[in-house]
Amino acid sequence: MIKQIPNTITAANLFMGCLSIVATFDGNLTQAAYFILAAAVLDFFDGFAARMLHVHSEIGKQLDSLADMVSFGVAPGFIFYALSQEHLTFEYGFLQFVPIMVLCSYLPFLIMIFSGVRLAKFNIDTRQSDSFIGVPTPANAMFICCIPFVLEHGPFFAQEIFTSAGFLILYPILMSYLLIAELPLFSLKFKQFAWKGNEIRYSFLLGGAALILFFQYFGIGLSIILYVLLSLITHLRK
């Protein structure tokens, strides 16, 4: 029974992803984002429980990826699709061409497709045991989750960004590339808690906390950008 605790937590992660999709279909994007945030917490604790209980299994690994696909691929993809349907307009320029309109309408599904590719790649890539190659799906999901909160609470300039045609069109394309790019990103797994060897992790945690404190919900999205930038800087220094 104890050996099934991590898989049970992973199943709860999957359940949160399903609830998020239902909330999106019901038009409640803020609630959908809350469910994804809950899934992220469960995703952390299933791995933590597995390490604490010394339980490792192939089925647990595969179940974790399947849960992540739903909670951090499909669910945020549907949130972005709903946002695009509501805010993306085709009133000017090249967007008025019907083929372009159709293409732009379905761009959010790229997020789901490339999340699947990224997770499949992660399962067979031995280089990603202590770090990541490409943006992790939870990071992309957290960025998308901040959008409904920003649209509800502000700030105004961020609302303007998130509802602009440029953002709604370019984000799925850019993030789809970053999910599978040969871009090294650091992991938040601590082998020990001393400053030496964890400088980049502590810098990110402090910087992310400051951004969230100052910008509130928009700070979540800025924290994801900070994560990518710090990873790039670290990679270039090496």
* Residue 220 belongs to a domain: no
* Residue 137 belongs to a domain: yes
Residue 97, pLDDT above cutoff 90: no
* Residue 47 belongs to a domain: yes
Cα 154 off chain centre by: 21
**pLDDT digit string, tens, across residues 176-233:** 999 999 888 888 776 666 777 778 888 999 999 999 999 999 999 999 999 999 988 8
* Residue 183 belongs to a domain: yes
**Closest Cα to residue 39, out of 4, 59, 69, 60?**
69
Residue 90, pLDDT above cutoff 70: no
Task: List strand residue ranges (DSSP E) for 71-191, in order.
Answer: 131-133, 184-186
* Residue 168 belongs to a domain: yes
For 68, list phi and psi in degrees, rounded to 5: -65, -35
Q: Domain count of the chain? A: 1
Kindly state the percentage of the chain with pLDDT values over 90. Answer: 55
Q: Which residue has the higher pLDDT, 120 or 171?
A: 171
Residue 54's region, left for phi above 0, alpha for psi from -120 to 50, else beta, is left
The conformation of residue 184, written as its DSSP 8-state character, comes to E
| Bridge partners (DSSP) listed for residue 191 | none
CATH for 160 = 1.20.120.1760
Q: How many residues does this entry show for the chain?
A: 238
**pLDDT digit string, tens, across residues 30-69:** 999 999 999 999 988 877 666 676 667 777 778 888 999 9
The conformation of residue 192, written as its DSSP 8-state character, comes to S
**Closest Cα to residue 77, out of 128, 21, 127, 149?**
21
What pLDDT shows up at residue 234? Answer: 81
Q: What per-residue string of b and e applies to 57-89 under the rule 16 or more CB within 10 Å gives b?
A: eeebeebbbbbbbbbbbbbbbbbbbbbbeebbe
> For the packed helices 199-215 and 217-237, what is the interaxial angle rounded to 10 degrees?
150
Other Cβ atoms less than 10 A from the Cβ of 133: the count is 17
Instruction: Retrieve residue 126's tokens.
Output: 């031995």
Instruction: Retrieve residue 144's tokens.
Output: 């998308």
* Residue 221 belongs to a domain: no
* Residue 238 belongs to a domain: no
Single pTM value for the model: 0.88
* Residue 138 belongs to a domain: yes
In terms of residue numbers, what domain contains 141? 2-188
